[in-house]
Amino acid sequence: MGLGSEEGKVKSSWDVCKSKERKKKEGTKAGCWVKLRLVGSCISSRSKVDSSVSGTSSHFESKSINDASTDQPAAPVVSSSTTSNTESNSSLSKLEEELKVASRLRKFTFNDLKLATRNFRPESLLGEGGFGCVFKGWIEENGTAPVKPGTGLTVAVKTLNHDGLQGHKEWLDYNAKLSDFGLAKDGPEGDKTHVSTRVMGTYGYAAPEDPKARPLMSEVVDTLKPLPNLKDMASSSYYFQTMQADRVGSSPNAKNGVRSQAGLLSRNGHQQRSFSIPHGPHASPFHHQYPHQSPKPSGKP
Ligand SMILES: Nc1ncnc2c1ncn2[C@@H]1O[C@H](COP(=O)(O)OP(=O)(O)OP(=O)(O)O)[C@@H](O)[C@H]1O
């Protein structure tokens, strides 16, 4: 990315950034989020800012802008060589992959980036995106320490807006130790009649810096084994039953042409409540989500 064309924008962008910053400082004590890229080169791993030094909440992300570059300080990207047939195996290899990437992370302090960009000074401003300003800085080739301008690696550091959510998800993920063991089943959607038996959910997530906190996949599988047959659970659910009834009712082959309402099945002219709802339709968590009529357009005006 050429820097010359950015020169004209620098002053005005900086003014915009500064005045925004001023407003934010007055209104909130929220931390500064930063994102980092190499200029004309790349770091193949994602990195995180340690905000403990500055006491502010900071986020750092390195992004490749030139994947063809081979002069890299970070380890090469590990290729995925695991060929798994089962889902748990592929999940396992995915986790392994994540751990390998995590082990290559560089951890920056806010101060590192502050010094690298010479205190985010106006002269270091490269430009402004929708979510914040981008500054030029210099860090050592194989580490995180700031170095003199013109030496080491040139990087672009983005300070994310205080009230923006860019990078928020990654930051939360990084901070999570083990979380969300919730499991869910894929229900039928639209035209699809197939009910997936695949269990969706996060088996567990360990912070990259603490891989020991991650449970072994075999432990996860053992935990899941005693669960009741999820396929049966799904097909006897209120959601599935109602969906089926609605589909039969809206089918052109439906004999009596009576469409079902949520929670009621129409068979042979008799109305009966779906057996999967012991306490009526309000017992279902899907009650408010599922439309009473088929979402499928009828094709008629
Ligand atoms: N690596 C870089 N080298 C040189 N200039 C850069 C670099 N990265 C960003 N810039 C400058 O900073 C400006 C903003 O970049 P940024 O990545 O924030 O843009 P964006 O993706 O449009 O923003 P956002 O994601 O906030 O909407 C760019 O238009 C460019 O002028």
pLDDT digits (tens, 9 = 90+) for 249-279: 655 544 443 333 333 333 344 433 333 233 3
Q: Which protein residue has the closest C-alpha to ligand 1 atom 6?
A: 126
How far, in Å, CA of 23 to CA of 27, rounded?
A: 6
Q: How far is the CA of 106 from the centre of ligand 1 (A)?
A: 22
Task: Please report which helix (H) or strand (E) contains residue 184, including its range.
Answer: strand 183-185
Instruction: Name the residue with tokens 């979402």.
Output: 295
Inform me whether the pLDDT recorded for 64 exceeds 90.
Answer: no
65 ligand 1 Cβ < 6 A: yes
Distance 3 CA to ligand 1 centre (A): 11
Going by pLDDT thresholds of 50, 70 and 90, the confidence category of residue 163 is: confident
Give the Å distance between the CA of 61 and the centre of ligand 1.
Answer: 13
pLDDT of residue 167: 67
CA dihedral (83, 89, 90, 91) in degrees, to 10, reads: -160
pLDDT at 118 (0 to 100): 94
- Whether pLDDT at 292 is above 70: no
User: Is 134 a residue whose pLDDT tops 80?
Assistant: yes
Question: Band of the pLDDT at 114, cuts 50, 70, 90?
Answer: very high
To test the pocket of ligand 1, the residue of 65, 134, 157 to mutate (highest count of ligand atoms within 8 Å of its CB) is 134
pLDDT at res. 235: 62
Domain ranges in the chain?
4-175, 183-228, 236-283
Amino acid 127: pLDDT:
93
The CA 262 to ligand 1 mean position distance, Å, reads: 50
Q: State mean pLDDT over 238-244.
A: 65
Which among 95, 96, 49, 46 is positioned nearest to 75, based on CA atoms? 46
Q: Residue 51 in contact with residue 159, Cβ under 8 Å? A: no
Atom 15 of ligand 1: nearest residue by CA position: 129
pLDDT of 159 reads: 87
In 3D space, the residue among 68, 58, 185, 151 whose CA is nearest the CA of residue 109 turns out to be 58
Task: Spell out the residues 6+ positions from residue 271 whose beta carbon is closer than 8 angstroms to its own.
Answer: 264, 265
Helices (H), the chain: 7-27, 87-103, 110-116, 168-175, 217-224, 230-235, 238-250
Rounded to a whole number of angstroms, the distance between the first and last alpha carbons of the chain is 52
